[in-house]
């Protein structure tokens, strides 16, 4: 039997999903194991094998590939646990990463923070001045060599950086995306002068115009590349020792994966890997259910994530901001806040109640875990409000303590605010639902859409407990909770259902439209590069698909809009069609009439993506039809809506539900790895795949 496995490591739980060629699927989750997350990776494999009733060795021996969503790169950048990097750049440009195009103080911050001049500042320098060296060389904007590379001076600079403690070298020279010859030679000299040192070239990592962002992307890639390499190599060795003969693949922020041998050289592409698996899963499930527009919401233990699927495709972005640095990293556009089940509720010095962004994580976890946590979390509140069954957490594998949860809420929230424990829990629940709805609203509206035109998918261990509340706030009429084996491991399902995705790009600024031969030649060059990289993945593909786009802008503007480009060679009429598509997309983003065609257009960057379709894709089988009405297993007192307060609710065991069953709120559905809350006014129906389809009517 041939298996595919997806493993998603979050800050609190490690999720795993497995599927075989016959359509059999299973999922499980275990606590994550920081700081050594590979321990949780291996543990969840054992749990997965036990779920299937086979040995771990037998499971691994029959597994074609494992797709891994890893937090190692993102965590390293956020915590600063990165390699010490030396930076080589063109003489006169050492300060570009400190000047930051004047964006550093406000990049990635909200409007309220940007206006708070006293409390905002530039982030810590990516590379300290003592680890920066300038090189004598110069290439102009056309790619012509103006000053030859001083090789002896370069060798000396490399030796100085190594002596100063640099563990890896980042190279970003002026206009290298037009002519990479000098960077490539510098890379060769690094190998000669510092054998074994990790080296990254901007012409490989980010061949895009704008020096600061290109340099920042290359430096961050160099900071995490060695860490990712040192994480993956021993993990793969251990897997091989346990009988694994397939491919270990690593998820990227772009929504596809790469072979583990390829990932460290472009490590920066993996920073969003744990964020995108769920969006990929939504895309696959939406295609099965016939939904074109989907809001993807994932509430796990640490974070709440929101992304979009529009017209059947994930909404992506060509850049992102991390630690206030602008990065050239194409990725699925997923926004996140610290509002997961482990988000800690706290009261500030002014007596204001907050939820998150700090999280109890896997260790010590929420107070109700009994593992040493003493601060109240959303999970503690869900337990005290009757939503979570203390005997059913993780399918009954972990017993929760109401007493410890109540004590945490009493001490940290109720007494400081002069509230009862019940009222404090209700307030925390309301804040949690409001801030998750606010994030979703921002994601949808800033993309030029209306939430009411979408179906909302809710997953993750905590998502189904809150989804109807935040969906009602958004006026979304239909919510899908993927149940069955994907219930609380939906992101891991998305990993297993993903394909190889490689993206290459090249900046070549010119007025638009250029000559068709120039335009087509640029995409031909990118496609040839992708074909070489696909061959290096060491995989057999069922199909290969190519998608192209060009970043266009109105003349003299700074921001570009990624615009789809049809496949194949285009003539003048085809180029005019690309220009028209840009204008339509621009107005969708910024409002009707906001375009200014009279200014003319400029083309800045060409980009092509290759999708290597993997031969095994998980199939979600249909569940049996109901032969009667759904029968609750019990009733209990719950709090699901602040307007209605405490109510008696029907409790359903998901395992005995069947397609066609309808459940009316107030009700709670208990699945082995999650819980679904149905407030009064909502109706849930089990569909043919076992998902719970929820519709809500405002009272």
The pLDDT tens digits of the residues spanning 663-679 come to 998 999 998 778 999 99
Say whether pLDDT at 213 is over 80: yes
pLDDT at 157: 97
Query: Has residue 660 been placed in a domain?
Result: no
Say whether pLDDT at 356 is over 90: no
Report long-range pairs for 402-409 (Cβ below 8 Å, ≥24 apart).
Answer: 402/368, 404/367, 404/368, 404/370, 404/380, 405/366, 405/367, 405/368, 405/376, 405/380, 405/381, 407/367, 408/367, 408/373, 408/374, 408/375, 408/376, 408/377, 408/380, 409/345, 409/376, 409/380, 409/381, 409/384
Give counts: helices (H), strands (E), the chain.
18, 35
Query: Has residue 420 been placed in a domain?
Result: yes
More confident residue, 240 or 625: 240
Residue numbers of the domain that contains 96 = 80-221
Query: Has residue 135 been placed in a domain?
Result: yes
Query: Has residue 100 been placed in a domain?
Result: yes
Q: pLDDT by residue (tens digit) across 28-44?
A: 888 888 788 889 999 99
pLDDT at 1: 59
Residue 99 and residue 336: Cα distance in Å, rounded? 28
Query: Has residue 235 been placed in a domain?
Result: no
Query: Has residue 444 been placed in a domain?
Result: no
More confident residue, 370 or 623: 370
Report the pLDDT averaged over residues 15-24: 86
Q: Does residue 420 sit in the same domain as residue 513?
A: no
Q: Does residue 519 sit in the same domain as residue 409?
A: no
Contact status, residue 42 vs residue 24, Cβ threshold 8 Å: no
pLDDT at 308: 92
Categorize the per-residue pLDDT at 27 as very low, low, confident or very high, splitting at 50, 70 and 90: confident
- Taking residue 273's Cβ as centre, other Cβ atoms within 10 Å add up to 28
The CATH number of residue 527's host domain is: 3.30.1490
Residue 188 tokens read as: 């060769």
Categorize the per-residue pLDDT at 525 as very low, low, confident or very high, splitting at 50, 70 and 90: very high
Say whether pLDDT at 127 is over 60: yes
CA 275, distance to chain mean position in Å, is 2
Q: Does residue 92 sit in the same domain as residue 210?
A: yes
Categorize the per-residue pLDDT at 486 as very low, low, confident or very high, splitting at 50, 70 and 90: confident
Separation of first and last alpha carbons in the chain: 51
Please tell me the least confidently modeled range out of 35-44, 115-124, 257-266, 318-327: 115-124
Count of domains forming the chain: 3
Report the pLDDT averaged over residues 512-527: 96
Please tell me the least confidently modeled range out of 165-174, 283-292, 310-319, 346-355: 310-319
Q: pLDDT by residue (tens digit) across 231-241?
A: 999 999 999 99
pLDDT at 108: 72
Q: pLDDT by residue (tens digit) across 179-191?
A: 999 999 999 999 9
Say whether pLDDT at 699 is over 60: no
pLDDT at 68: 95
pLDDT at 140: 96
pLDDT at 558: 82
Report the pLDDT averaged over residues 203-224: 95
Q: What percent of the chain lies above the pLDDT cut of 70?
A: 98
Tell me which of 432, 461, 483 is where a domain ends: 432
Give bridge partners of residue 307 from the DSSP assignment: 296
Tell me: cis bond preceding 513? Omega within 30 of 0 counts.
yes
Tell me which of 432, 459, 483 is where a domain ends: 432
Indicate the pTM of the whole model: 0.85
Q: Does residue 417 sit in the same domain as residue 505?
A: no
Say whether pLDDT at 10 is over 90: no
DSSP one-letter string for 38-98 = HHHHHHHHHHHHHHHTS-HHHHHHTEEEEEEE--HHHHHHHHT----EEEEEETT-TTHHH
pLDDT at 664: 95
Query: Has residue 624 been placed in a domain?
Result: no
Please tell me the least confidently modeled range out of 154-158, 168-172, 397-401, 478-482: 397-401
pLDDT at 462: 86
Pairing of strands 13-20, 138-139: unpaired
Categorize the per-residue pLDDT at 359 as very low, low, confident or very high, splitting at 50, 70 and 90: confident
Say whether pLDDT at 247 is over 90: yes
pLDDT at 110: 67
Tell me which of 432, 456, 474 is where a domain ends: 432
Nearest to 529 by CA among 565, 502, 550, 507: 502
pLDDT at 30: 87
Q: Does residue 85 sit in the same domain as residue 214?
A: yes
pLDDT at 96: 92
Report the pLDDT averaged over residues 205-230: 94
Q: Does residue 412 sit in the same domain as residue 504?
A: no
Report the pLDDT averaged over residues 157-167: 97
């Amino acid at each position: 039997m041939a298996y595919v496995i997806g493993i998603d490591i979050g800050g609190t739980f490690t999720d795993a999903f497995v599927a075989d060629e016959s359509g059999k699927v299973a999922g499980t989750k275990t606590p994550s194991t920081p700081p050594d997350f590979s321990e949780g990776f291996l543990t969840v494999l054992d749990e997965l094998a036990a779920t299937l009733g086979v040995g771990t060795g037998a499971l691994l021996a029959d597994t074609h590939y494992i797709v891994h969503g890893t937090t190692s790169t993102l965590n390293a950048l956020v915590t600063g646990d990165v390699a010490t990097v030396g930076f080589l750049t063109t003489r006169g440009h050492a300060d570009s990463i400190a000047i930051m195009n004047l964006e550093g103080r406000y990049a990635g911050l909200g409007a309220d923070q940007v206006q708070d001049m006293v409390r905002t500042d530039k982030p810590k320098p990516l590379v300290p001045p003592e680890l920066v060296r300038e090189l004598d060389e110069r290439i102009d904007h056309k790619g012509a060599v103006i000053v030859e590379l001083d090789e002896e001076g370069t060798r000396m600079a490399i030796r100085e950086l190594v002596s100063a403690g640099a563990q890896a070298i980042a190279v970003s020279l002026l206009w290298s995306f037009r002519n990479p010859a000098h960077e490539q030679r510098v890379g060769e000299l690094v190998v000669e002068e510092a054998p074994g040192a990790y080296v990254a070239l901007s012409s490989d990592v980010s061949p895009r115009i704008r020096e600061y962002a290109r340099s920042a992307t290359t430096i961050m890639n160099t900071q995490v590349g060695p860490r990712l390499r040192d994480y993956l190599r021993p993990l793969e060795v251990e897997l091989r020792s346990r009988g694994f003969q397939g491919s270990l693949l690593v998820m990227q922020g772009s929504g596809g994966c790469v072979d583990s041998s390829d990932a460290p050289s472009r490590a920066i592409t993996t920073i969003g890997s744990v964020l995108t698996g769920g969006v990929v899963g939504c895309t696959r499930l939406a295609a099965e259910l016939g939904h074109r527009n989907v809001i993807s919401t994932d509430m796990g233990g640490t974070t709440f994530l929101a992304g979009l699927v529009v017209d059947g495709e994930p909404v992506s972005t060509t850049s992102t901001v991390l630690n206030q640095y602008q990065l050239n990293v194409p990725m699925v556009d997923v926004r996140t806040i610290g509002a997961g089940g482990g988000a800690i509720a706290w009261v500030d010095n002014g007596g204001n109640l907050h939820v998150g962004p700090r999280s109890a994580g896997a260790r010590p976890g929420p107070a109700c875990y009994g593992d040493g946590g003493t601060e109240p979390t959303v999970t503690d509140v869900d337990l005290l409000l009757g939503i979570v069954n203390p005997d059913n957490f993780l399918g009954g594998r972990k017993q929760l303590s109401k007493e410890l949860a109540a004590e945490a809420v009493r001490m940290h929230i109720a007494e400081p605010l002069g509230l009862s424990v019940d009222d404090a829990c209700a307030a925390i629940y309301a804040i949690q639902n409001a801030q998750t709805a606010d994030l979703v609203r921002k994601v949808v509206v800033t993309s030029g859409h209306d939430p009411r035109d979408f179906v909302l998918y809710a997953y993750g261990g905590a998502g189904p407990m809150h989804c109807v509340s935040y969906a009602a706030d958004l006026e979304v009429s239909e919510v899908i909770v993927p149940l069955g084996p994907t219930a609380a491991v939906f992101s891991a399902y998305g990993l297993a259902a993903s394909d190889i995705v490689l993206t290459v790009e090249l900046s070549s600024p010119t007025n638009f439209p250029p000559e068709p031969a120039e335009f087509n030649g640029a995409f031909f060059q990118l496609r040839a590069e992708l074909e070489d990289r696909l061959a290096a993945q060491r995989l057999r593909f069922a199909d290969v698909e190519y998608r192209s786009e060009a970043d266009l802008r109105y003349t003299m503007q700074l921001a570009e809009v990624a615009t789809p480009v049809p496949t194949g060679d285009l003539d003048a009429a085809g180029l005019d069609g690309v220009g028209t598509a840009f204008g339509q997309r621009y107005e969708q983003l910024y409002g009707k009439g906001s375009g200014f065609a009279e200014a003319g257009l400029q083309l800045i960057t060409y980009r092509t993506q290759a999708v290597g379709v993997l031969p095994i894709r998980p199939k979600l089988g249909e569940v049996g039809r109901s032969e009667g009405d759904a029968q609750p297993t019990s009733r209990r007192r719950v709090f699901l809506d602040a307007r209605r307060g405490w109510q008696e609710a029907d409790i359903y065991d998901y395992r005995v539900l069947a397609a066609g069953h309808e459940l009316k709120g107030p009700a709670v559905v208990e699945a082995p790895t999650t819980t679904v809350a149905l407030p009064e006014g909502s109706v849930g129906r089990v569909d043919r795949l076992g998902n719970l389809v929820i519709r809500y009517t405002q009272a």
